[in-house]
Chains A and B, each alone.
Chain A
């Protein structure tokens, strides 16, 4: 009996390996080229895509050199009904999470921004730890706290919408930023141009720099997150209209070792890779290292504005671009809150400029003394106390 089961189990394991290897033939006829050129992403929205691409060329309104106070094509709304005289505001903030370097840098910048406004007496922050249910109860608890204004950075769009509506219902001005919600009740919704523009910035760079027929590897963190899906949808759209050969679209889980292994595999498999597109730059350095360790030239690269990548870019003279999702947007909600409480006008949708770093200006963003995962586009260099809190 023992032997029979042993055989069965061994056969099972073998069959398992066999089954897995058979899968690609059915679902993925092109081997690695994951049908990206033919299939439009369900997250693709032509109107929004066109709008974001148009925003990139629009001239922002607002003070020069302070992009966190600038706005693109604003429609101002009146806020006199929220005006509070006497100052000493209690500013409340329901934060989705501080679980990644981007949110870390952003949140620190926000805390410093609060210090710049003597009108703010109290800054109450609840961290939802990336849990929808916790954020819903956080928002409920804030509505009972005598907040002058409530800032919300939603964890997810659909689930948090009712909670935001409820907060709006209490009459306190609500400011939403970063990810959106499906309601127009907040006084203002603050965000940079968006994911389509981010993805397009990188893809257009590759379209321009990689020769026709060149092999492009696309690295994504994980599927299903709308911000990241939009980036890929835009890139996919641009690649489809180009002569680039997208040899693979892989998920890295944001893990450096996995990224490096995947890129090394592709270098082996394809012989050469002429361009790498990434939906977020956190593992860009690991991807570049895969080329260095394989002893081949580093191709055209799409990264992000993290210091480790920018330093490598300058040191190695890479041919790269860094679309950014600027962390300076964390300053804007505080500025908006103070404006609203003073009865000044704010845009209904506050669209911030979303710059990209190119080889022409990368040197000005390299800050040797900052940690490797610091985001250059924090707009925090001129804040008092810099660089202390960000280190």
Chain B
């Protein structure tokens, strides 16, 4: 195997964007003169960053996971109903929510790899199934309540020596980010990227493409469950908590320079993309721009990223992604 994944590709631009946004925040918001302001931003961005890391695993291996938003909602609603304010139920329910995330990821992965249904369709179906099931189960109004223990992870902070109060969600995020970065440097991580870039090559060199993709979906489901715990903790029970998060996570990942269709991009850049997106929305809010612009901005980022992927990625990439189309369209020599 002479091919080597370029993990750092796309990291530099997003870091520049992030830096510009953070400087913008420092100029506009007086709260960003001190580290605590940035810590608050990081705390708020943590669930999206974790979702983006999960989404990265799926996208880089050549798929999509549209089910994460609905999974977050389901996780929060299930937790509230089962805990129902009972402190002693916290730990088992947290484990159950994580298990549920793994299960949904496993289903997404198995249907995609074994039944050969495109992941876009599988996870879109899963989104609808989860949304519908959540609605049916709750009758549209979530019941029960989360315990204070459950909410600690999204709301509370840990007193770290020397550093002071660090929100739990930031600590969890850092742990996940470090683990993800290490994983992507391992052989399995590199093979995951390779599976998204050139499936046939991985297969011929003895790699288990299906198993790799399955792993991507399971990780995405698990991290969506973690995000659900943080989001539920941050703001409490709501049946809208996860709506639109899937697109936000995908936007974050492509903003991080990860190629839609797989094969290129780094996980740290994906997380930085999520932080940039959150910083951008915070900046817009501080400037007094209507929140309605958020979806428009997200849409433009996705379109720009896809345009970049299909043009900037070179025609070779396009040939591989859409072999049928290219038979009819004669590509101009580059």
- State in angstroms the CA–CA spacing of A30 and B313 once bound together: 43
Within 8 A of B (CB), among A111-166: none
Give chain A residues whose Cβ lies under 8 Å from the Cβ of B29. 268-269
Q: Report whether A265 and B287 are in contact in the complex, using a CB–CB cutoff of 8 Å.
A: no
Chain A 1-14 interface 0/1 with B at a Cβ cutoff of 8 Å (1 = within): 11001100110111
Report the minimum CB–CB distance from B131 to chain A (whole Å): 11
Give chain A residues whose Cβ lies under 8 Å from the Cβ of B13. 10, 13
Q: Report whether B291 and A1 are in contact in the complex, using a CB–CB cutoff of 8 Å.
A: no
- Among residues of A, the one whose C-beta sits closest to the C-beta of B44 is A261
Report the minimum CB–CB distance from B257 to chain A (whole Å): 9
- Assuming the contacts A98-B140, A269-B31, A373-B142, asked whether A13 and B240 have C-beta atoms less than 8 A apart, the reply is no
Q: Report whether B289 and A256 are in contact in the complex, using a CB–CB cutoff of 8 Å.
A: no
Report the minimum CB–CB distance from B234 to chain A (whole Å): 6
Chain B 138-166 interface 0/1 with A at a Cβ cutoff of 8 Å (1 = within): 01111111000000000100000000000
- State in angstroms the CA–CA spacing of A16 and B276 once bound together: 13
Contact of B288 among A28, A255, A259 (CB under 8 A): A28
Q: Report whether A17 and B20 are in contact in the complex, using a CB–CB cutoff of 8 Å.
A: yes
Q: Report whether B292 and A251 are in contact in the complex, using a CB–CB cutoff of 8 Å.
A: yes
Dominant SS among interface residues on chain A:
helix
- For the side of the interface on B, what is the size category? 35 or more
How many chain A residues touch B (Cβ–Cβ < 8 Å)? Answer: 58
Q: Report whether B301 and A16 are in contact in the complex, using a CB–CB cutoff of 8 Å.
A: yes
Contact of A259 among B135, B235, B283 (CB under 8 A): B235
B15 CB within 8 Å of chain A: no
Q: Report whether A268 and B30 are in contact in the complex, using a CB–CB cutoff of 8 Å.
A: yes
Further pairs besides A2-B312, A10-B13, A289-B236: 17, Cβ < 8 Å: A9-B304, A13-B17, A24-B287, A100-B141, A103-B140, A104-B141, A251-B290, A251-B291, A255-B243, A258-B291, A264-B44, A265-B286, A268-B31, A289-B235, A371-B143, A372-B237, A373-B237
- Rank and list the top 3 A-B pairs by shortest CB-CB distance, nearest first: A101-B141, A268-B31, A9-B308
A sample of 19 cross-chain residue pairs with beta-carbon separation below 8 angstroms, ordered by A number, consists of: A2-B313, A9-B308, A9-B311, A14-B17, A16-B304, A17-B280, A100-B140, A251-B290, A255-B238, A259-B235, A260-B235, A261-B285, A262-B285, A262-B291, A268-B31, A268-B37, A269-B31, A289-B236, A308-B145
Chain A residues within CB distance 8 Å of chain B: 1-2, 5-6, 9-10, 12-14, 16-17, 20-21, 23-24, 28, 30-34, 98-101, 103-105, 223, 248, 250-262, 264-265, 268-269, 271, 283, 285-286, 289, 293, 308, 371-373, 391
